[in-house]
Amino acid sequence: MKNLKSVGICLCACVLVLGVSAGAARAQEQNFNAGKNLELQYDVLKALSARFVDSVKVDKLVETGIHAMLRSLDPYTQFIPMEDQEALEMMTQSTYGGMGSSIRKYPEDSLVTVIEPYKLSPAAKSGLEPGDKILYIDGKDVKPLSADQSSKMLRGTPGTTVELDLIKGRGGERKKIIITREKIHVPDIAWYGMLENKVGYIRLTGFTAGGAQTTREAVIDLKKKGAEKIVLDLRSNPGGLLDEAVKTVSIFVPKGTKVVTQKGREVSDVSIYKTMEEPVDTLIPLMVVVNSSSASSSEIVTGAVQDLDRGFVAGQRTYGKGLVQGMAPLGYDGVLKLTVAKYYTPSGRCVQAIDYSNRREDGSVGTIPDSLKKEFKTLVKGRSVYDGGGITPDSLIKEDTFARVVYSVVGNAITEDFAIKYYKENPQIASPAEFVIDDRIYDQFVEYASKQDFDFRSASLAELERIIEDAKKEGLYEDSKELFDSLKEKLTVTKEEALRKNRKAISYFLGADIVAKYYYTEGETEYSIKGDSQLQQAIKVFLQLGK
């Protein structure tokens, strides 16, 4: 018996040694391959530098190779060199050093036009207004500069100054102003306030540092104002910091509630995130509104609310980004933003919709098929929810869709350009809640827009013209020419007719652009709520719950 035990111990020891040896061998093989490939890369660069027909910028070549290497993994793993650290700060903090204004360069004059100063920004405090034309930045003529070059000159270290030589949009006066740059923070909350039927509304556009605290304060304020229900609008919110998402959920659930689990490559690499703060209200009815552009941290919040049966989710299925990024410092002050884990909602589902690890031969990736999706149960009511495809709302509500000409007018900035023109000519307008695009304003817009260059064809006419081109290539056009021409004539409208037929939709965007010039992003968001049919339908469903 003793001998058998000794043999067993021996065998265990052998297995352990073999296991260690196998692990060490794998590590040695990986190190060898890494060394071999780095040496090969160095040899290629050395040969290019020495013998390529044109001069080679090795540093640029290396950076291009790094970006290409990382793109083969997923869209979220990125190399951020030292000179782009401001982009990293903007990504994580929504902050940058500058004057705080959106600008654009128009080809007709090549000047920098102020589109919209941000509320309480140095630009706004210095008197910059929509429509102001900047001629010189720190004495440098802006005409030869690109929009990006102009923007970089306006940005800089907080506390430094920038001198602008400009022509005022209102009045045409030429003047010089000196603006002291500040740290510009783009707030997570676009607007919050009370809607009808004692509904408190919060439009959240990101999850940056400190954002959850402002959301907490907004909920407290709404409750003081009499809110009996809360709507958290996360539509088109691309996400942000995971910790901020957890803190946002903590507003509505008991302290110590599990919100999300993060799992890395190794079995032991698991992190569980629970709420660490006392809630504001665990009982107030809550609705989260999402769409196909709600991603990452937005999905963490939405998934937790749904899995915990804490609230109602309405809208469209979310984007499906269940990947977590972390930051790794590199040499020469570079930073590697890399995917380090996947996250899982309280029920255990991962919402990642695209499998980047299994690419097709052409390099493309596909979505996870329905046959591979797994069923999970919500933690209180036991409702069925599924992984692998974003968060599917409890109530699917279609997003607003518009005619082709509407997208053309907005996409070509016709509405925004008219808004600047309107701002120059009108010193004030009604409040965002009361402002409307009346006949007078819309007639002015039609007169203005009719003189602008944009594609006003209907989708049906554009498709017919494509079919006609195909018919000509296939030799079928002449046989049906009369039919094609007749149909084309019926589908053709003038530019003014197209604008008149789509007045309601165009007025929605036009009004938002005009209000933004007077009341900033907050006013624009408040105004837009009135014509947001998806949101109105969602609230209608929300109000019916429990009746």
The residues carrying an active-site annotation are: 296, 307, 321
- β-strand 270-274 against 258-263: which pairing, if any? antiparallel
Cβ atoms of 458 and 493 closer than 8 Å: yes
Helical residues (DSSP H) of 136-240, grouped into ranges:
147-154, 211-224
Cβ atoms of 124 and 117 closer than 8 Å: yes
* Residue 240 DSSP one-character state: B
Nearest to residue 528, comparing CAs of 259, 261, 283, 233? 233
Nearest to residue 173, comparing CAs of 132, 116, 144? 132
Residue count (the chain)? 547
Helical residues (DSSP H) of 132-272, grouped into ranges:
147-154, 211-224, 242-249
- Rg of the chain's alpha carbons, rounded to an integer? 29
* Residue 293 DSSP one-character state: T
Q: Which residue matches tokens 């495809």?
A: 389
Bridge partners (DSSP) listed for residue 136? 141, 165
Distance CA 377, CA 113 (A): 54
Task: Read off the tokens for 307.
Answer: 């899995």
Distance CA 458, CA 405 (A): 6
Identity of the residue numbered 483: L
Cβ atoms of 238 and 206 closer than 8 Å: yes
